[in-house]
Every structure is written in structure tokens, then in C-alpha cells.
Amino acid sequence: MKTRTIGSSVVPAIGLGCMNLSHAYGHPPTPELATQLLHKAFELGVRHFDTAALYGFGANETLVGEALKPYRAEIHLASKCGMTGVDGKRVIDGRPETLIRTLDAALDRLQTDHIDLYYLHRWDKSVPIEESVGALQRMVAAGKIGAIGLSEVGAETLRRAHGVHPIAAVQTEYSLWTRNAEIAVLEACRELNATFVAFSPVARGFLAGGVSSPQALVEKDIRRTMPRFQEPHFTANSVWLGQFAQLAAEAGCTMAQLSLAWLLHQGEHILPIPGTTSIAHLQENFAVVELEVSEAILAKASALINQASVSGARYPAATQTEIDTEEF
């Protein structure tokens, strides 16, 4: 089984992003079905579980905390602060007092006395990164968190933060169709011995063949606001999707599995965290820890899908201003 080191833990090389059990992609499953999926994930061997205060405005942490409480000592639990729901709206706030308050609420919801990895979900650019990380450093000293992570930051910001306290992980979107991390952050993580946690590793379902058309996305699905899921970009990207399906068939795996296998091949410090509401897809994704795909097929996939062949920005313009990652 392929594994990854994150913080002081060794975990299977595929984790679980828990966001869409409560948030973001239209209608989430019932808490009962979501709990069944989390239990199945543990049964399969998943040990790295990723949530955040933002997801469902606290509901996801509550769900994860209740469902995984029996397994708490056996899992690596990650959550995030710095972006939360306030009066029904998403707010980025990196002030130390806010981060500490968010952490204390998260510990209650997660029914634990510590979180193994705690991320700054977004860098609040009105607050020096050193101040936000300094607050989290104090929480490490207090035993409330085991390690500090950052999300959607560039290499320069990562290095500044690392100067305050070692950064155990950086979480950013990374997949065949989002390659920004290759500009600088992947290498910076390698140099600093930080794990790179890849969210949306199958392109929010697109690389799994899971989005038939923009019209198929239900109301309140956040993909409806993303340029790649709007025309003319959706049709342009669908042109090469058929070729990708053929590559997966040649490899004897699914499109999602080929996407994840490609990611794992990019570095031993890369940990993908696909999310799903389907137990069948959960099983399919986790099976990649035992999957071998030839380098020739992985190279073809990389040449087919990259920043030159993908049409459209990954975020709408307003959201783009909130992140710190390098752009092509």
C-alpha cells in the first residue's frame, strides 16, 4: 500500500475530503448516509480525514466529530480556521483572537481535545501571516493542535510562515487540470519537508466524467460560478475528456483512478484528498493505493491535460483575489 507522511503520522496515500458531505455541491446526503460513508472509509483503511469550520458553517465538523469519535485515536484529523460562516456569509478573518475562538469551537464540535493538523484556510491579507501563524503556534504549545498547515498560499508566504513555526502541510487545488502548484509551491514544500495536500484531485468531478453538462449542476452548487464549468469553456474541455477516458481504459482503471495515480506519481510528498458522497466512488478512489499505472500512460495524460489545454479560470474573479497561489 502506498503511504504518505504528514506531520508525525504515516497514513495511506489517499485521504478523504469531507466538505461535500455538508457543503458546496448542491444537496448533501443526510447525516445518516454521511455517517455510513465515513464509517466505510475507516473500514476501507482511510486514516486522514479533512474538514473545516467553513463547511456547512460548522455542520461538517459536528458530523465528522460524531461519526469518527469511536476511531479518534486511530485517525489523523485535519481541520481549518480563518474562513468561517458569520451571519450566513463566508468571512475571511485571520486575526489571532478569531483563530483561537474558532479552534475552541472546533474542538467542541469534533469532540476531541486536539486536532492533529490545523490549517489557516485562507491567508487574511489584512493580517501579517506571521501574526496568524504565531497564534496557531501558541495553540501547538497549549497542546490543542499537533501541527500547522496553510491553504492556498504561494511559496513566498509559505516561507514567511515557516520562519515562525514549521509548516507541516500546504493544501491547494492540484490535478491534471490545475497545475499552479508546479510553479513554486510543490518544490517549496519538498524543501521544507511539508506535505502537499491536493484538494479537488479529480477536478471537482470533471475528470471522473461526473459532470454531463453545466445545466446538470443543481442550484447552489458552487461549480455553477466557476468559469471551467460554464460555456464556452465546458465544451472546450469536453473535447479532450473523451481521449482521457480512452487512456483510462487502456490503463485498466477508471478516469478518477487515473487522475489520482497521476497525482501520486508527481511526488512522494503529495497526498490527494478526493471527496465523495458515494460509497462506490469512495472504494474506487481508495483502491488507488494499490494501483500501478505505467509511466507511459501517465505521461500521455499529462501531455493531454495541462494549463495549455484547459480552458477557463479555476475560480471566478472575486474569489481569485482571496487566494495567494502563483498563477500561470
Give pLDDT tens digits for 139-158.
Answer: 999 999 999 999 999 999 99
Q: 84 by DSSP, 3-state: which?
A: strand
Q: 83 near 92, Cβ under 8 Å?
A: yes
Strands 9-12 and 3-6: antiparallel
At residue 269's C-alpha, the angle toward residues 205 and 299, to 5°, is 60
Number of domains making up the chain = 1
pLDDT in tens, the chain (328 residues): 999 999 999 999 999 999 999 989 988 999 999 999 999 999 999 999 999 999 999 999 999 999 999 999 999 999 999 999 999 899 999 999 999 999 999 999 999 999 999 999 999 999 999 999 999 999 999 999 999 999 999 999 999 999 999 999 999 999 999 999 999 999 999 999 999 999 999 999 999 999 999 999 998 899 999 999 999 999 999 999 999 999 999 999 999 999 999 999 999 999 999 999 999 999 999 999 999 999 999 999 999 999 999 999 999 999 999 999 999 9
Residues 6+ apart with CB under 8 A from 23: 54, 55, 56, 59, 60
pLDDT for the residue numbered 319? 94
Who contacts 252 (Cβ-Cβ below 8 Å, separation ≥6)? none
d(CA 259, CA 221): 22
The number of angstroms, rounded, from the C-alpha of 264 to the middle of its chain's C-alpha atoms is: 14
Q: Is residue 61 assigned to a domain?
A: yes
In a domain, 325, yes or no: no
Give a yes or no: residue 326 inside a domain.
no
Which SS3 state, helix, strand or coil, does residue 80 take?
strand
Q: What is the pLDDT of residue 17?
A: 98
pLDDT of residue 16: 98
Residue 290: CB atoms within 10 Å = 10
Q: Where are the alpha helices (DSSP H) in 50-114?
A: 59-68, 96-110
Flag whether 145 is in a domain.
yes
Looking at residue 182, its pLDDT comes to 98
Looking at residue 308, what is its pLDDT? Answer: 97
pLDDT at 26: 83
Instruction: Tell me the per-residue pLDDT of 242-276, one tens digit each, with 9 for 90 and over.
Output: 999 999 999 999 999 999 999 999 999 999 999 99
Judge whether 315 counts as a catalytic residue: no
Q: What is the pLDDT of residue 23?
A: 84
CATH of the domain at 81: 3.20.20.100
d(CA 328, CA 307): 8
| Catalytic one of 25, 55, 118, 119 | 55
Distance of alpha carbon 309 from the chain centroid:
23
From the CB of residue 239, how many other CB atoms can be counted at a distance below 10 Å?
10
Inside any domain, residue 158: yes
**pLDDT of the residue at 80:** 98
Query: Residue 288 contacts by C-beta under 8 Å, 6 or more apart in sequence?
Result: 2, 13, 14, 257, 260, 261, 264
Q: Is 196 inside a domain boundary?
A: yes
Q: Is residue 327 part of a domain?
A: no
Please, are residues 133 and 144 in contact by the beta-carbon 8 Å criterion? no
Give pTM, 2 decimals.
0.97
Q: Is 1 exposed, middle or buried (0-12, 13-18, 19+ CB in 10 A)?
A: exposed
Distance CA 223, CA 220 (A): 9
Residues 214-234: b if buried by 16+ CB within 10 A, e if exposed: beebeeebbbeebbbbbeebb
Please report the pLDDT score of residue 125 as a whole number: 97
**Could you read off the pLDDT of 286-316 as tens digits, one per residue?**
999 999 999 999 999 999 999 999 999 999 9
End-to-end CA distance of the chain: 34
* Contact (Cβ atoms closer than 8 angstroms) between residue 237 and residue 310: yes
Residue with cell 483572537: 97
Output the nine-digit C-alpha cell for 234: 465546458
List the domain range (segments joined by +) for residue 267. Answer: 3-320
Q: Are 271 and 6 in contact (CB under 8 A)?
A: yes
Is residue 144 included in any domain, yes or no? yes
The H-or-E segment that residue 157 falls in is helix 155-164
